Structure 1
């Protein structure tokens, strides 16, 4: 896996620390974004605030379960953001994968050429075909464990401004806190159910198809998932679509 690029990390190795006045402004913005919002909708409301208040085109949040290879799209601002997340899941590569692996922000300002495009050549090509020119992935991490990523994209090249960076990093922290609170919430209506469990079960078809490939080929889970991803990529499918075909018997892997 590619190491984190030095340009990804703000000075000091973490997000920009807001000054006293800036901290008050952020608190006001975040409070306004979630005012009157039900607890289970708070993370999505904070994502929408990112799109509304930052110079980005769209955003999404992808969650990770216990298996780092299995991720699920929890929320996206638009279809392109959703397809961008699915592309990274299918390829097993991209800015969000690097951010999860290294627990560090990945700020790819130009996917059309240069170092950013070279880091993830296949993903970059697919992103550009979707109209995406820049992607900024921030890990949602707690106690040195990544629970997902906040992924921002823009339809033109260019880095995040200092103002946007000073908003994005606290926003990722706020989304992490909201998701952890949601996980811990004990409500009779089921809204406090563990979204980490959902991250495991949302791609149940991928789990099932991977198991079938393991039996057919006599390989381990990671090899089986790699074969499924390779098939999906070579046939222009998402890994979820390919998994459905395996389960339905339309695809059968043989050694």
Structure 2
């Protein structure tokens, strides 16, 4: 994919995201696909995605790295940060120089700088005035995201939001709440499974996720099902590493 033109890469990203919008699509896989593809297209170094739970509280659901995950969790714990502001206002929030934002979000600022991030762009996930979360792109250089890159991020976020809030589901608010809650519950299972694989297979958390996702896709299973199997020890993926190189290349 690295040899593709920007236009071809963008088209491929929309196809990949749209391809997950089936009747029984995996919400978590959709969101991981969204944030990974968007991060690569706009030349960001990491990305994270938050969804609101049934109580309207943001929760981290997908991220491209543990570094981004940590920063997201820190600002949620503090209840303040550009991504939180993005969700509250429903508008994109861009911070071109995190180090210079000395008066805003001190906890977020410290966490981001500690992980090597110098700028961030938060994009709302919204449809017809309803805001369900944010997608956040982190970069290790200062500067505002280019206008066309910001437009790409918003467009991909809009496609994913439409997928989550399809008309047949949006008409039944309880089903929407249950679907979002299921995505959040799946996140917990995935983190538990990553921990199991990391410990038993001496893998990094990123490599553990690659192994989980590869098994899910190769066997036409959802990430949730695979993660649940690994977490409760009914599925052992470590033997697969004996006949293959440890993951860690591209997501």
TM tier, smaller:
0.5 to 0.7
State yes or no: 1:154 paired with 2:139. yes
Match of 2:178 in 1: 194
5+ unaligned residues in a row in structure 2: which ranges? 1-5, 171-175, 189-251
Distance 1:183 1:85 in 2: 31
C-alpha change, 1:45 and 1:199, in structure 2 (3 Å) is closer
Distance of 1:59 and 1:183 partners within structure 2 = 30
Name the structure 2 match of 1:145: 130
Does residue 30 (structure 1) correspond to residue 14 (structure 2)? The answer is: yes
Tell me the equivalent position of 1:227: none
State whether residues 59 and 152 of structure 1, in contact with CA within 8 Å, keep that contact through their aligned partners in structure 2.
yes
Normalised by the length of structure 2, the TM-score is 0.59
Q: CA 1:31–1:108 in 2, change beyond 3 Å: closer, same or farther?
A: same
The corresponding residue for 2:45 is 57
- Could you tell me which residue of structure 1 aligns to residue 106 of structure 2? 121
Instruction: State the match for 2:92 in structure 1.
Output: 105
* Kept in 1: contact 2:46–2:138 (CA 8 A): yes
Q: Where does 1:1-255 land on structure 2 (aligned, <5 Å)? A: 26-27=10-11, 29-32=13-16, 35=19, 39-40=25-26, 41-68=29-56, 70-113=57-100, 116-181=101-166, 184=169, 194-198=178-182
Per the TM alignment, residue 171 of structure 1 is displaced from its structure 2 partner at its CA by: 1.2
Provide structure 1 residue ranges, at least 5 long, that are not aligned to the other structure. 1-21, 186-191, 205-255
Contact 2:18 2:159 (8 Å CA) reproduced: no
Kindly indicate whether the alpha-carbon contact (under 8 Å) linking 1:60 and 1:150 is maintained by their aligned counterparts in 2.
Answer: yes
Offset at residue 163 of structure 1 (A)? 2.9
Would the aligned equivalents of 2:16 and 2:33 in 1 still touch at CA under 8 Å? no
Partner of 1:147, secondary structure, is strand
- The structural deviation recorded for 1:48 is 1.3
Q: Is the 8 A contact 1:59 1:76 kept in 2?
A: yes
How far apart, CA to CA, are the structure 1 residues paired with 2:162 and 2:36? 16
Q: Distance in 2 between matches of 1:52 and 1:23?
A: 13
Residues 193 and 105 of structure 1: CA distance in aligned 2, closer, same or farther (over 3 Å)? closer
Deviations 1:181-203 (A, max 9, x none): 49939xxxxxx993322477689
- Cα distance in 2 for residues equivalent to 1:183 and 1:157: 42
Alpha-carbon shift at residue 180 of structure 1 (Å): 2.2
Looking at structure 1, the residues matched to 187 and 179 of structure 2 have their Cα atoms a distance apart, in angstroms, of 13
Question: CA RMSD of the aligned region, Å?
Answer: 3.4
**Contact 1:80/1:130 (8 A) holds in 2:** yes
Secondary structure of residue in 2 paired with 1:158: coil
Distance 1:197 1:55, change over 3 A: same
1:165 & 1:86 partners in 2: Cα distance? 23
* Alignment partners' CA distance in 2, 1:126 and 1:46: 24
TM-score (norm 1): 0.59
SS at structure 1 position matched to 2:165: helix
